[in-house]
Structure 1
Amino acid sequence: QAIYNIRNNPPQEDGACKLCNHQTIQRADETEEAITNRLEIYNQKTAPLIGYYEKEGLLKNFLSLIASDTIAEIKKSLKV
């Protein structure tokens, strides 16, 4: 089984897998239209919540390149 990406790692021109030569498939939720739709819904319904929680003083931001540091900061913030 192989994973392809239209931009960075496309399948062969005929749509066949480069490894086994079987025809590749694309899931319905992986089309450009589906992704654009999901992003529009996110921007309309989810992204505005960031401003709301920020105004309420309930938004916490964590920036770390090391997962264990991030987890420690989250636990500290939650007093866990």
Structure 2
Amino acid sequence: DKFVKLAHEHGVPMFCDNTFATPINCRPFEFGVDIVTHSTTKYMDGHAMALGGAIVDSGNFDWDAHADKFPGLTTP
């Protein structure tokens, strides 16, 4: 929670790579994280037969207020 609060005080979204914990064991959005990444190749597939990943936005970070800092994430 302290890291999330510090990041938000400085207008920075908090990212979390949740690959190893998986969504079953850890839910970063419940701790205020803004963006969660997952490697779907390792654990979600279960057999390492697929290649993929996921980037999930919680919808809580005010991207419009900080659009100048993150043009790659706020413009087409």
**Same topology, TM > 0.5:** no
TM-score (norm 1): 0.24
TM-score (norm 2): 0.25
Bigger RCO of structures 1 and 2 (CA < 8 A, at least 6 apart): 2
Give the structure with the larger helix fraction. 1
